[in-house]
Amino acid sequence: MTTKLHYGKFGGNVAYHGFQSFKENEVTPEECHSIGVETAKQMWGAEYEIVVTTHLDKNHHLHNHFVVNSVSFRTGRKFENHISDHYKLREISDAICKERDKSVLENAPFYGGEKKAYWIHKQGKKTHRDMLKEDIEICLTVATSWDEFRRVLATMGYEVDYRRFTIKAKDWEGGIRVASLGYTVEGIEKRFNETYYSGHHLVDWNNFFYARRRYFPLESVRKKLEFSIDHGKRPEVIYVDTLFLLIILVFQLLKEIADAMLLTPEMRHAAKDIKQYVADYHFLTDNQIHTTDDLTATIEETQLKIAELEEKRSKADNKKRRATNFKDKERYKALRKEITKEITPLRNKLKQAEEILDKSPHLYELLQKEHQLEINKIRKIERSR
């Protein structure tokens, strides 16, 4: 924190975490820690401060954890954590282990799967494959034939290509092979039979079959708010307060109006986060934040306040250490606690503001896609009259 204070860089990640594991019973605790320290020095030691800890898990496997400061003590440059850094860390670790006659994993998959999906999951988000698999499972609770399978998926915004046996949403670049999600033709037909004989589909079918439904919630809310989806003169400026209000009202309509429908899987899955969107909207209105520029200004202002308070707290710490009597020590200790009480809500405010700034462009893009599909559908209905 002293390094961050010195360079005035408090935003983003506080630190980065890496780890280094070893084959069971191949290293002593001392060897494990020594390899960890050497790895950290070669990887980051010239630029960044690192904490190396050596642990023993429940299965008695020794391993190291690295916690790396996100700001360089030498230049103040932020560590960017590229994928190339992960590969470099592995190369350094393997080289040191081989020098000491320890085992390494040769040619092991680095991410344990598809790289893009790995990073999406790390952010707590879902890939197109995740969304599609969840929706297929919902579909199989009501569909009892291939025709019903296609129609239910169509109401969810998907197109089925039986020749290639792929499924895609209208705005996706390519289809996803159903087999790659773990489904076979025989397995799906078995599920059709199970659904048919369960009888549940007779109750649930109408909840999914929206082929003739013509209520489009986003366009309805947009008109009521007199808000243009493509409103920004500059693409980086987004009216975030109205954006979150729009999303909340759309999701509320889905619960209130039986004929309301969403056309993109991404929007339907975003509806699960409505509680967080409500909290974000209240945050924006409470702090009188309207645009992304306002949000950026709030972040910078909050960072500055935190930096000032941390400097004040650091001085209180120094005075406490230098105090020669118990009374003065207690006075500076109490002062430090009071300053910390002021910092905590500011940190929470900063975290929420940064998260909103990070998610806003993605939500704005979702709304644009959803609205374009709604407009296309409305025009198609009007032409058919």
The CATH number assigned to the domain holding 97 equals 3.30.300
Looking at the fold, whether 133 and 45 belong to one and the same domain comes out as no
Evaluate whether 357 touches 299 at the Cβ level (below 8 Å).
yes
Looking at the fold, whether 327 and 203 belong to one and the same domain comes out as no
User: What is the reported pLDDT for 346?
Assistant: 95
DSSP conformational letter for 271: G
- Among the listed ranges 201-205, 295-299, 337-341, 351-355, which one has the minimum average pLDDT value? 201-205
DSSP conformational letter for 260: B
Q: 335: burial class by Cβ within 10 Å (0-12, 13-18, 19+)? A: middle
Compute the half-sphere exposure of residue 260: CA atoms within 13 Å on the CB side of its CA: 16
User: CA 225 to CA 223: how far, in whole Å?
Assistant: 5
pLDDT of residue 173 exceeding 60: yes
In a domain, 370, yes or no: yes
pLDDT of residue 58 exceeding 60: yes
Looking at the fold, whether 219 and 362 belong to one and the same domain comes out as yes
Determine if residue 112 is left, alpha or beta; phi over 0 gives left, psi from -120 to 50 gives alpha, anything else beta. Answer: left
User: What is the reported pLDDT for 28?
Assistant: 92
Nearest to 178 by CA among 203, 148, 153: 153
**Residue bearing the bigger pLDDT, 213 or 214:** 214
User: CA 333 to CA 89: how far, in whole Å?
Assistant: 41
In a domain, 11, yes or no: yes
Looking at the fold, whether 260 and 308 belong to one and the same domain comes out as yes
Looking at the fold, whether 16 and 104 belong to one and the same domain comes out as yes
- Among the listed ranges 75-84, 156-165, 190-199, 204-213, which one has the minimum average pLDDT value? 204-213
pLDDT of residue 236 exceeding 70: no
pTM check: above 0.75: no
Looking at the fold, whether 162 and 146 belong to one and the same domain comes out as yes
Query: H/E element holding 316?
Result: helix 292-322
Looking at the fold, whether 224 and 349 belong to one and the same domain comes out as yes
User: Domain boundary residue among 51, 80, 110?
Assistant: 110
**Residue bearing the bigger pLDDT, 186 or 385:** 186
Evaluate whether 208 touches 155 at the Cβ level (below 8 Å).
yes
* Reported confidence tier of residue 119, pLDDT bands at 50, 70, 90: low
Nearest to 242 by CA among 367, 354, 149, 137: 367
User: CA 2 to CA 20: how far, in whole Å?
Assistant: 27
In a domain, 123, yes or no: no
Query: H/E element holding 65?
Result: strand 62-69
Looking at the fold, whether 28 and 41 belong to one and the same domain comes out as yes
* pLDDT (mean) for 208-231: 69
User: CA 169 to CA 165: how far, in whole Å?
Assistant: 14
User: CA 90 to CA 95: how far, in whole Å?
Assistant: 9
Looking at the fold, whether 194 and 233 belong to one and the same domain comes out as no
User: CA 290 to CA 284: how far, in whole Å?
Assistant: 7
User: What is the reported pLDDT for 60?
Assistant: 72
Looking at the fold, whether 264 and 171 belong to one and the same domain comes out as no
In a domain, 140, yes or no: yes
> Of the spans 15-29, 36-50, 119-133, 363-377, which averages the highest pLDDT?
36-50
User: What is the reported pLDDT for 84?
Assistant: 78
* Reported confidence tier of residue 64, pLDDT bands at 50, 70, 90: very high
In a domain, 242, yes or no: yes
* pLDDT (mean) for 169-192: 88
* pLDDT (mean) for 34-63: 91
Tokens 């987004």, residue?
238
Supply the range of the domain harboring residue 8.
2-110
pLDDT of residue 109 exceeding 60: yes
User: What is the reported pLDDT for 271?
Assistant: 81
User: CA 163 to CA 360: how far, in whole Å?
Assistant: 38
User: Domain boundary residue among 149, 182, 208?
Assistant: 208
In a domain, 216, yes or no: yes
In a domain, 116, yes or no: no
Looking at the fold, whether 12 and 59 belong to one and the same domain comes out as yes
In a domain, 121, yes or no: no
- Span 75-107, pLDDT tens digits: 999 888 877 788 889 999 999 999 999 988 877
The total number of structural domains in the chain stands at 3
User: Domain boundary residue among 156, 190, 208?
Assistant: 208
* pLDDT (mean) for 185-209: 76
Evaluate whether 297 touches 355 at the Cβ level (below 8 Å).
no
User: CA 189 to CA 182: how far, in whole Å?
Assistant: 14
User: What is the reported pLDDT for 234?
Assistant: 53
* Reported confidence tier of residue 212, pLDDT bands at 50, 70, 90: very low
User: What is the reported pLDDT for 211?
Assistant: 44
> How much of the chain exceeds pLDDT 90, in percent?
38
User: CA 33 to CA 27: how far, in whole Å?
Assistant: 9
Looking at the fold, whether 31 and 54 belong to one and the same domain comes out as yes
User: What is the reported pLDDT for 201?
Assistant: 58
* Reported confidence tier of residue 218, pLDDT bands at 50, 70, 90: confident
Hey, is 94 helix, strand or coil?
helix
Evaluate whether 143 touches 195 at the Cβ level (below 8 Å).
yes
Evaluate whether 35 touches 97 at the Cβ level (below 8 Å).
yes
What's the CA angle centered on 356, arms 359 and 295, to 5 degrees? 125
* pLDDT (mean) for 204-209: 56
Q: How many CB atoms lie within 10 A of CB 231?
A: 12
Partners of residue 160 on adjacent β-strands: 167
- Span 251-274, pLDDT tens digits: 888 888 767 777 788 888 788 788
